[in-house]
Chains A and B, each alone.
Chain A
Amino acid sequence: MAINVQSKPKVHTREPVINDFAFSVATKNGSGSQTSNNVLVMSLFRMGIPVNGKNLFPSNIKGLPTWYTIRASKDGYTARKAITEIVVAYNDGTATEDVANLPPGGVCITTDKIARVIKQRDDISYYEIPVAALMKQTDVPSAFRKLVENMTYVGAVAKLFDIPLDLIYDVLLSNFKGKEKPAKMNHDVIKLAYDWTAENIEKTDPYRFERMDGTSGKIMMTGNDAGALGAVFGGVNVVAWYPITPSTSFVDGIISFRHLRQNENKENTIAIVQAEDELAAAGIITGAGWAGSRALTSTSGPGISLMAEFAGLAYFAEVPAVFWNITRMGPSTGLPTRTSQGDLLFTHFLGHGDSRQLCLLPGNLKEAFEFGWKSFDLAEALQSPVFVISDLDLGMNNWLSDPFDYPDQPIDRGKVLNAAQLQSFIDEHGKWGRYMDVDGDGVPYRTVPGTNHPFSAYFARGTGHDVMATYSERSDDWVENMHRLSLKMDTAREMLPQPIIENSSGSDIGIVTFGTNEDAVREARDWLANDGIQTDYLRVRALPIASAVGDFIHSHKSVFVIENNFDGQLNQLLHIESPEDISHVRSLALGDGLPMTPSWIYENLKEQEG
């Protein structure tokens, strides 16, 4: 084999950088790089290094460019970094741009073939891997050859930055669910590249990994799996859905955890229906919720659009059901595989007429699980649809987390009357009506079909009913109903998850955000603090907005609302909900299809704060 002449190192003596740098792996979609990247992330996780992996992928099955970013951070920062120090440039189509994006002193790992055209810089290290020649030495069957080719960069990375080979083998075994044959086939290629790198490449960069104790007791998972697991522990009974990126893997998660809820005869307590479209999926869960089960759908923006009519009906008929919206850019083609927080207003106001849907806004993996089960309790306690707004970044990427907490309260079915309770209700109140508010919290009592009592039946419909659920077109009946629904919203405000508040700095600057921006905001706040700029922090976790949010806004002179959409939708909502002038609340919104970065927040906040 020809020995490649490596470019001369330009930076000789730099302090080593340990466990604090980021990779970008550039490949083509469908080339099997997902497995390679997962192996790297999980290996770092098992070395005890806090790590994240974010897949920035195209709407395509095969051929279009895809990037996977891996960030190791000894300090536990897991937000996406805008700039990565290392690129694995395995896609000839993007290699020139990938190399151009590296900072001085960066590293490019590429194939000997691509290297010929991209060696335009003299301030970075180039490591060339003779992929074709190495693959010729393997006995990988030709059918798999293209798919395992990417394992060559895993081998090179392992050698260059010190990831133990035996640990990689363990990860491969887990990845292939204990099957030795594929694990070994992949590992052979990794080892070949590892050995070749050891023999032929002179390391000229300062980056390396070292075992540490930053992940023991922690787990890694995608947000979709976490939410799905939460739903399974929350007693979901009926799942109806239609395939759509990035929510499909949510239902895949429920399917994979379904066995946890089977009885001893392997019979299911969770029905899963792939419907003909999202509209039907919403109809199925509305029917199921009305009939007394815990029903869920998972979708994304286009699906939410189709579900609008049922969402409105369920809101006014007061039917519990849980809708997960794994948000993405949209509509139609172009950016469906890019993350976004652009559905906040649309989802909150979904339905025609005066409706405000209850929304939960998980910001991390633990909350994805927690809201997964809690959403059912809230939907039944408040007799309403509940929307959990996650996003592609949380849903489809692997996140590091403390283990979840087992639900700390028993399942709450809300105000459902069985036959005996219905009789007691009638004895106490003289009669029962589906929309009577006897508790003064706006939440009535309901019955479900199958309740054996002569007065249990009622007729559900959208608008146009009185407290007895009788058809009515009287204005006073409807106005009374709307007043009660307002009261129910106020009950919800304080019952839904309250905001996370860090209010100890005594600063005049408050930062408000929601969802997955949390990590980037946390890191940016640390950078600002290093510059002497202290900030307070509030993360909204539910809509309608809790009263504590107003208190926070009014106790700071300058408030920045950071969110991952173009129009600053949370900021708009705060202005809608505030009775007073809150012109000191300003929007810092960026909707560019990518997970938020600390550097963008840091730079823009500094500029605004002047």
Chain B
Amino acid sequence: MPPRVNQLGLSRNEYKGRPSTLCPGCGHDSISNQIISIAYEMGIEQHNFIKVSGIGCSSKTPAYFLGGSHGFNALHGRMPSVVTGALLANKDLSCIAVSGDGDSGSIGMGQFKHVIRRNVPFVYIIENNGVYGLTKGQFSATADEGQFLKYYGLNEMPPIDLALEAVISGASFVARSFSGDAKQVQALLQAALRHHGTAVLDIISPCVTFNNAETSTKSYPYGKDNEVPLHEIEILAPDYVHAKEEIEVGDYEAGDIIDVEMHDGSFIRLKKLDNDHDPRNRRMAIDVLEQSLREQIFSTGLIYYEEPRPTLADTEDLVSTPLARLDEGSLRPSKEAFEGLMRGLMAG
């Protein structure tokens, strides 16, 4: 039987990268798999995508998905600046970037917040495991207060919540998920890819080697037992005919559905669970994150969404052709203009 193919006639395999070299069972590999699945299902053209990362276990993963896309494994904590430059050079490109909690929460905190401030349109995935893997098990800035690790003892510092930092910095799309929740990760990825601004996905992604004890809130056992989704998520593509009366609500009351309209005409449909979270409400988003942090509730889902403000390329007021594709006529003013300028500078 021939392999199943998408609208471009490509099989899922053609969205893969090189084999992973991470530890078997690593949460990051699961996220790479969801990226591959979503790219395949959405039928993305890989040559129009770039994948960029910093340094760390998470930052190795762009080599393991979208083999047909240009990739750049940059510097520790500095992925956001490379993405900024690449997307200014060619604003027609889409970008999936991968970072970790050390990469974004410590060394790269400045770049993390400033790329959000500039509203560079890309998917910013943080694969968050609370620990430095490649250097063998130091606490990261997102580790739980009071946690104990074999080599580094007790962590007495409170964690930094990167989703909260993203909301505070002005991100227009902030979500938290769990790499063990494939369905939710896929739905959020799909929404993030359709977003016209910086979309931050803070995905708790367990480190099976250094931080997977049941007592850690970044572990598989903890996530599986304690994840509290804020809602069920479904993405309705732009070609979906949006008619309220046709909504298949199932067990839901009409008022328990939130349809968030996105920039490209698609909708994020949120089906209410046992809470009242509305991601369009910034105050609620901050409250739910602060409460989760305080009471150690593993809330996941779309935390915050707003209609994106202009992207960096918009505020730069750039020509429609990507800068990288401009020809000589657009790159060099004429000799006449030059000579006029020189004459204006002369003594007489």
Q: Which residues does A use to contact B, with CB under 8 Å?
A: 45-46, 48, 215-221, 229, 232-235, 237-238, 240, 260-261, 263, 266-269, 271-273, 275-277, 279-295, 309-310, 313, 317, 373, 403-404, 406-407, 410-411, 447-454, 456-462, 470-471
Contact = CB atoms under 8 A, between A and B. Distances in A.
B70 A283 contact: no
Contact of B347 (A216, A229, A272, A461): A216
Interface string B282-299: 000000000000000000
B5 to A, nearest CB: 15
20 contacts: A217-B346, A233-B333, A260-B341, A269-B330, A271-B316, A273-B84, A279-B78, A280-B78, A281-B81, A284-B85, A287-B85, A288-B88, A292-B90, A292-B325, A403-B345, A449-B69, A450-B325, A451-B47, A456-B47, A459-B71
B89 A238 contact: yes
Given A283-B84, A310-B75, A456-B47, A293 B110 contact: no
Contacts of A452: 45, 47
Given A276-B110, A450-B92, A220 B345 contact: yes
B317 A283 contact: no
B147 interface: no
Nearest 4 pairs of A and B residues by beta carbon: A283-B81, A287-B85, A235-B331, A292-B324
A218 B333 CA distance: 22
Nearest to B17: A459
Q: Which of A45, A292, A317, A373 has the most CB of B within 10 A?
A: A292
B172 to A, nearest CB: 19
Given A283-B74, A286-B82, A450 B47 contact: yes
A237 B52 CA distance: 21
A457 B345 contact: no
Contact of A457 (B69, B86, B87, B333): B69
Contacts of B337: 260
A287 B81 contact: yes
Interface string B308-333: 00001100111110111110101111
Of the candidates B72, B80, B313, B345, the one having the most CB atoms from chain A within 10 angstroms of its own CB is B72
A45 to B, nearest CB: 5
Contacts of B85: 238, 240, 283-291, 295
B189 interface: no
Contact of B75 (A218, A281, A309): A309
Contacts of A272: 316
B119 interface: no
Contacts, number: 233
B88 A273 contact: yes
A291 B86 contact: yes
A287 B330 CA distance: 21
Contacts of A410: 328
A25 B160 CA distance: 55
A432 B84 CA distance: 28
Given A276-B114, A291-B85, A221 B75 contact: no
B129 interface: no
A289 B86 CA distance: 7
A456 B68 CA distance: 8
Interface centre among A218, A219, A271, A452 (most CB of B within 10 A): A271
Nearest to A448: B324
B251 interface: no
A450 B322 contact: yes
Contacts of B332: 233-235, 373, 407, 411
B89 A293 contact: yes
Contact of B70 (A220, A221, A404, A458): A458
A215 B319 contact: no
A452 B49 CA distance: 11
A454 B10 CA distance: 12
Contacts of A48: 347-348
Given A276-B114, A287-B81, A310-B78, A219 B346 contact: yes
Interface residues of B, number: 64
B244 interface: no
Interface centre among A45, A238, A407, A449 (most CB of B within 10 A): A449
Given A456-B47, A457-B47, 12 more contacts: A216-B346, A237-B323, A237-B324, A261-B330, A271-B313, A280-B111, A286-B82, A287-B84, A291-B50, A450-B324, A457-B71, A460-B70
A346 to B, nearest CB: 19
Given A271-B88, A459-B63, A283 B346 contact: no
A217 B343 CA distance: 8
Contact of A218 (B62, B118, B341, B347): B347
Contacts of B110: 276-277, 280
B67 interface: yes
A607 B325 CA distance: 58
B82 A287 contact: yes
Contacts of B46: 457
Contact of B333 (A232, A268, A280): A232
Nearest to A449: B70
Contacts of A271: 88, 312-313, 316, 318, 323
A260 B316 contact: no
Which of A263, A284, A407 has the most C-beta atoms of chain B within 10 angstroms of its own C-beta? A284
Contacts of A269: 318-319, 323, 326, 330-331
B247 interface: no
Contacts of A279: 78, 81
A273 B118 contact: yes
A452 B48 CA distance: 8
Contacts of A288: 85-86, 88-89, 323
B83 interface: yes
Contacts of A404: 338, 342
B68 A454 contact: yes
Contacts of B320: 267
Interface string B1-36: 000000000000000001000000000000000000
Contacts of B70: 290, 447-449, 456-460
A287 B319 contact: no
Nearest to A51: B347
A268 B47 contact: no
Nearest to A219: B345
B217 interface: no
B316 A268 contact: yes
Contact of A453 (B47, B49, B71): B47
B93 interface: yes
Nearest to A456: B47
A290 B347 contact: no
A459 B73 CA distance: 7
A42 to B, nearest CB: 9
Given A291-B324, A411-B331, A286 B74 contact: yes
Contacts of B324: 237, 291-293, 448, 450
Contacts of B313: 271
Given A280-B114, A291-B86, A457 B67 contact: yes
B339 interface: yes
A498 B70 CA distance: 36
Nearest to A285: B85
B335 interface: yes
B89 A291 contact: yes
A269 B326 CA distance: 8
Which among B86, B328, B337, B339 has the greatest number of chain A C-beta atoms within 10 A? Answer: B86
A286 to B, nearest CB: 6
Nearest to B45: A452
A410 B328 CA distance: 8
A44 B92 CA distance: 52
Contacts of A462: 73
A461 B73 contact: yes
Nearest to B72: A460
B71 A267 contact: no
A211 to B, nearest CB: 11
